Structure 1
Amino acid sequence: MAMPVEGGTLSEIHQSARKLLLKARDGVEKLERLESSTSNGGFDSPELSFAVKKDISQIQSLCVEMDRLWRSVSAKSQRDLWKRKVEQIAEEAESLKGSLDKYLVRNQRRMNEARERTELLGRANGESAHVLRIFDEEAQAMQSVRNSSRMLQESFATGTAILSKYAEQRDRLKNAQRKALDVLNTVGLSNTVLRLIERRNRVDQRIKYVGMFLTIVILYFFWRWTS
């Protein structure tokens, strides 16, 4: 026999609890299906999990109310029957609550793992960019060294060619001097003319050595500038 109470009879409250229980069970199953599809590109539903949690809380509140009401039933057989019914509703609600809590824990773990992967990927990208930047700077430095080395080699080759020209000119001057002396000796020029020629020869040699020294100095400073 159902007893009238404020807000509904025991039967009415039990019927409401059964409807909420079916709704909550359907919500939990849907969350689990969504969780299964998440690994294959599915999605989560925070709104649904919140709604299921709210339904379970309401069921538990109704169980508290029904537990109070069935104790007021006068007939023992009816009282025992309602006790089993209320306990069954409470157990199913507690089972759904356990399933929902496990789902929420798994969902939180997935969210944490996704956040950690995102952070690791961000750090990896940052480190890769830093390594690439270092490689680029080293490549630029190596290219600069190669350019400087090439310029130095070209300058050295130019200096060597200049010195070679000086050596050729020196040989030609010696040959010319030797021929001139032979000619002068042949025509019998005076010792004064010979001394003038020797003095000119010494001047030419000084000019030659000064030119060689200046060339070496210029090459040295150019090498210091490019290194």
Structure 2
Amino acid sequence: MESLYHQANRLVQETQQCFEKLEKVSDLNSDPIEKEIQARIDTITSICERLDIMVYKEPLTRRTNSKYRVDQVKYDKDHLQAALDTYKNRKYQRLQEEREREALLSHQFKLNNYEETAILMDHSQSFYSSKHHDSLKSANQGVDDMLQSGAGILESLKDQRMTLKGAHRRLYDIANTLGLSNTTMRLIERRAYQDRFILIGGIVFTCLVIAAIIYYFT
């Protein structure tokens, strides 16, 4: 078991040295070193499988320490495999980018037929311009309808105000005729004063709604 363990450690160190060589060569010349690294990693994997079997044959006093040493070798092996996979992925990306760059540089672009392009653009612009014009016309008509509706509401509120004012005047005259008390007259005036604020509030609210609609549609 000791000889296998030392052999695995020696392979780990040699594989790390192969990685140092791999960093110094170009991507086009790296295949032999990659194959060598993968072969060493496969050998270490095979040795670890044999060591796993031999660990359980060790005495109980040495089994824990032996298993720890084997696990350390397996960890180093997994780290080497991950490093190799990462290198291969980066190499593939570099080669792919290089091929795409060469394809782009070697590609010959052809000029479009000006007349055909102009016709398509004119037709497209005419279609979208007409569609945009129809949308604006519809929105403008909607805003005009809302303005007319708002004007009608304001006129109706104005008429209601005049009606309330006339009713207040008639009530005041009736009260004077009937000789109502000053307290009753003050209550009537207070109610008329409150109705005035309600009317003003309704007018302001309607104006705000109309202004918001005009802002939204324009």
Give the TM-score taking structure 2 as reference length. 0.48
Larger radius of gyration: 1
